[in-house]
Amino acid sequence: MVFSKAQTLFTLVAGVATAGGLGVTVPLAPPSTSKPIAGDHVSFSLEQDRWLDWSGSNSRNEFFFNTLDNLKQLFVSARIVRTAQDFNPGLQSAVAQLQFPAATKNVPYPEASSIVVGDGYFATARFLPKNTRVIWGVNLGANNLTSSYLVAQSIAKAFNSPEMKDDRIVLDGMIIGNEPDLFPNNGHRAPGWNVSQYISEWQTFAGNITNALGITSSSTTKFWGGAFAGSGVVCSTGVVYIDHAYSGSFCEGNGALLQDLMTKANIRGNLTRFGPDIAVARDRGLDYVMGETNSFACHGTPGVSNVAGAALWTLDYLLYGAQVGISRIFFHQGIGFKYNLIQPVVLARSPVDGSPLSPPLPPHIQPQYYAAIIAAEAIGSSGQTRILELTGYAFYEGDILVRALFINSLAFFKKDSTRTSVHIDLAFTGAATTPSSATVKCLSILLPDGRPRGSRSLESVILVSFKR
Ligand SMILES: *[C@@H]1O[C@H](CO)[C@@H](O)[C@H](O)[C@H]1NC(C)=O
Ligand SMILES: *[C@@H]1O[C@H](CO)[C@@H](O)[C@H](O)[C@H]1NC(C)=O
Ligand SMILES: *[C@@H]1O[C@H](CO)[C@@H](O)[C@H](O)[C@H]1NC(C)=O
Ligand SMILES: *[C@@H]1O[C@H](CO)[C@@H](O)[C@H](O)[C@H]1NC(C)=O
């Protein structure tokens, strides 16, 4: 294929001919509106209660290790949320004492109501892939400085171990308190507890933990502030500012909800609503991350969060996130949650409705994992990639256009007999050298038995890599 500037180059999505293509002009050099996108832009936020299931207790969880390692442009960064409820110095081995509420149809894998951990619990971070950056949190809700101090000491002990140092597994961030804006509503603080009280308590904890962790101004470990459930409060409580976000909360779903999730205008709306927070954080010189996010609360919606369309949502959401100035997106994961990218252990009951599974489900990846793989390939390993949203997205390494990606966000259901397609005409603009050829990779969505849907496979994502 030979390209020349400002000329129709090729038809990207074959299929039913549509009258007139969609013209997309790709700048050959990154304009000022392009944004940096990090190799570990896709990160994970792990529900803390069953952390040992993710990491492995006595040896590494091979499945989780491999699924992280596959995203090998790494750094993977993992954020472990829900700060430890209590610490028992007697629990030396990798044991956590957990209590769970009863499972229900809508919440087959509830979060633990009580977590007691010891030193061995934090030490299993040594089972993560090399270079993983980890963010832990301590409890502010319980308002027990001694408990949080003991947790911080235990975390320090783990990350100072020779094994973690050799593998460059680092404690990148410490968070004090999870979703503190909810404290006056969930019983952790009296009604009327306000932001000045929060900051003062945060400072007391931060002072103490700085000491427990031996943090100095040159340490890798920094405090990450915020971690609010809602937007609109930005406090200078760390060097990274965190928000949490879901596109809604639905315990049951349907096709319309899936299409809503994937629709570009909704994806934009759900991210641009954080624009003011991002602007304030950036003005104060803070990095801004989406610290806990996924499709819908309720640990995901059956038939929506766990299907192929969710992979398309994930890809668009994480890439658009970079375009609006979010440095990293931590997709929330828990054992048996419906919106997981990865299910790292055997599940004895259905994540969809809690029914007993015989035989049990072995560890597996879910559709959204494909989005992480595609994003890793699109971002590449240059460490200096920039992204620009067009109709799709263009990727630049340094000053050079290297890749472009297009997503078909129109849901296609089993009941649909024909699928429409979009014809894209690519052209270039700018003074730089035009690519001489390109390779194209597609994500095809197949039926569970491996057959393409309808009469042909359906390319839902197209990644073009340019060659010169
Ligand atoms: C931190 O808190 C613990 C527990 O209350 C206390 O023993 C320790 O002296 C405190 N350290 C600092 C530096 O405040
Ligand atoms: C605070 O935590 C410590 C250490 O776990 C514990 O011994 C103590 O009883 C706790 N205090 C309260 C008031 O719960
Ligand atoms: C927060 O509450 C405290 C204690 O009631 C009060 O002294 C302070 O003025 C309040 N601050 C703000 C900003 O409302
Ligand atoms: C977020 O996305 C959902 C659909 O997933 C949509 O219903 C909602 O309106 C969107 N919110 C905003 C602020 O755009």
Question: pLDDT truncated to tens, each residue of the chain (468 aa)?
Answer: 233 333 333 344 433 334 457 899 999 999 999 999 998 899 999 999 999 999 999 999 999 999 998 886 555 567 776 656 677 777 777 788 999 999 999 999 999 988 889 989 999 999 999 989 999 999 999 999 999 999 999 999 999 999 999 999 999 999 999 999 999 998 999 999 998 999 999 999 999 999 999 999 899 999 998 888 876 666 666 778 888 999 999 999 888 999 999 999 999 999 999 999 999 999 988 899 999 999 999 999 999 999 999 999 999 999 999 999 999 999 999 999 999 999 999 999 999 999 999 999 999 999 999 999 999 999 998 989 999 999 999 999 999 999 999 999 988 887 777 777 888 899 999 999 999 999 999 998 876 665 555 545 567 999 999 999
For ligand 1, the distance from its centroid to the CA atom of residue 140, given in whole angstroms, is: 15
Atom of ligand 1 nearest to the CA of 211: 13
Question: How many Cα atoms within 13 Å fall on the side-chain side of residue 443?
Answer: 25
pLDDT for 88: 77
Among 351, 382, 413, give the residue marking a domain's end.
Answer: 382
Q: Which residue's alpha carbon is at the smallest distance from atom 9 of ligand 4?
A: 266
Atom of ligand 4 nearest to the CA of 265: 14
* One domain for residues 218 and 272: yes
pTM, full prediction:
0.93
For ligand 3, the distance from its centroid to the CA atom of residue 192, given in whole angstroms, is: 9
* One domain for residues 415 and 367: no
Q: Measured from the CB, is residue 196 less than 6 Å from ligand 3?
A: yes
The Cα–Cα gap between 26 and 9 comes to: 11
Q: Measured from the CB, is residue 200 less than 6 Å from ligand 3?
A: no
Identify the CATH number of the domain in which residue 143 sits: 3.20.20.80
The Cα–Cα gap between 25 and 38 comes to: 24
Q: Measured from the CB, is residue 289 less than 6 Å from ligand 4?
A: no
* One domain for residues 402 and 451: yes
Q: Measured from the CB, is residue 208 less than 6 Å from ligand 1?
A: yes
178 CB contacts (<8 Å, ≥6 apart)?
81, 82, 83, 137, 139, 140, 141, 227
Q: Which residue's alpha carbon is at the smallest distance from atom 4 of ligand 1?
A: 146
Q: Which residue's alpha carbon is at the smallest distance from atom 6 of ligand 4?
A: 266
> Which among 5, 4, 2, 24 is positioned nearest to 13, based on CA atoms?
24
Confirm whether 449 is domain-assigned: yes
- The ligand whose atoms approach the alpha carbon of 145 most closely is 1
* One domain for residues 274 and 401: no
Residue 445, classed as helix, strand or coil, is strand
pLDDT for 457: 54
Confirm whether 16 is domain-assigned: yes
> Which among 442, 396, 443, 404 is positioned nearest to 426, based on CA atoms?
404
Q: Which residue's alpha carbon is at the smallest distance from atom 5 of ligand 1?
A: 146
* One domain for residues 317 and 351: yes
Bridge partners, 117 (sequence order): 87, 96
Here the tokens at position 454 are: 């309808």
For ligand 4, the distance from its centroid to the CA atom of residue 340, given in whole angstroms, is: 20
- The ligand whose atoms approach the alpha carbon of 190 most closely is 3
pLDDT for 92: 73
Sheet holding 86-87, edge to edge: 86-87, 114-117, 96-99
Q: Which residue's alpha carbon is at the smallest distance from atom 14 of ligand 2?
A: 144
Q: Which residue's alpha carbon is at the smallest distance from atom 2 of ligand 2?
A: 147
Residue whose entry in the numeric block shows the structure tokens 């040594």: 126
Q: Print burial letters for 106-135: b (CB count within 10 Å at least 16), e (below 16).
A: bbbbbbbeebbbbbbbbbbbbbbbeebbbb
164 CB contacts (<8 Å, ≥6 apart)?
125, 126, 158, 170
The Cα–Cα gap between 122 and 94 comes to: 8
Q: Measured from the CB, is residue 368 less than 6 Å from ligand 4?
A: no
Q: H/E element holding 413?
A: none
For ligand 2, the distance from its centroid to the CA atom of residue 175, given in whole angstroms, is: 20
For ligand 3, the distance from its centroid to the CA atom of residue 138, given in whole angstroms, is: 24
Query: Cβ distance 277 to 232 under 8 Å?
Result: yes
* One domain for residues 130 and 205: yes
Q: Measured from the CB, is residue 144 less than 6 Å from ligand 1?
A: no
Q: Measured from the CB, is residue 421 less than 6 Å from ligand 4?
A: no
Question: How many Cα atoms within 13 Å fall on the side-chain side of residue 403?
Answer: 23
Whole-number Cα distances in Å, 2 to 9, 22, 44, 468: 8, 20, 40, 10
- The ligand whose atoms approach the alpha carbon of 206 most closely is 1
Among 362, 382, 402, give the residue marking a domain's end.
Answer: 382
For ligand 3, the distance from its centroid to the CA atom of residue 242, given in whole angstroms, is: 24
Confirm whether 113 is domain-assigned: yes
Confirm whether 158 is domain-assigned: yes
Confirm whether 1 is domain-assigned: no
Q: Which residue's alpha carbon is at the smallest distance from atom 3 of ligand 2?
A: 147
* Number of domains within the chain: 2
**Where would I find the beta strands (DSSP E) of 247-311?**
287-294
Among 382, 414, 433, give the residue marking a domain's end.
Answer: 382
Confirm whether 204 is domain-assigned: yes
* One domain for residues 413 and 434: yes
Q: Which residue's alpha carbon is at the smallest distance from atom 6 of ligand 2?
A: 147
For ligand 2, the distance from its centroid to the CA atom of residue 211, given in whole angstroms, is: 20
The Cα–Cα gap between 329 and 342 comes to: 16
pLDDT for 18: 42
The residue segments making up the domain with residue 214 are 39-382
**Amino acid making up residue 307:** V
Q: Which residue's alpha carbon is at the smallest distance from atom 9 of ligand 1?
A: 208
pLDDT for 17: 36
- The ligand whose atoms approach the alpha carbon of 296 most closely is 4
* One domain for residues 107 and 209: yes
* One domain for residues 210 and 247: yes
* One domain for residues 288 and 152: yes
Say if residue 297 is exposed, middle or buried (CB neighbours under 10 Å; 0-12, 13-18, 19+): middle
Confirm whether 253 is domain-assigned: yes
Confirm whether 138 is domain-assigned: yes
Q: Measured from the CB, is residue 417 less than 6 Å from ligand 3?
A: no
Q: Measured from the CB, is residue 143 less than 6 Å from ligand 1?
A: no
For ligand 1, the distance from its centroid to the CA atom of residue 172, given in whole angstroms, is: 22
* One domain for residues 345 and 408: no
* One domain for residues 251 and 104: yes
Atom of ligand 3 nearest to the CA of 195: 13
Ligand 2 surroundings by CB, under 6 angstroms: 86-87, 144, 146-147, 150
Residue 66, classed as helix, strand or coil, is helix
For ligand 1, the distance from its centroid to the CA atom of residue 150, given in whole angstroms, is: 9
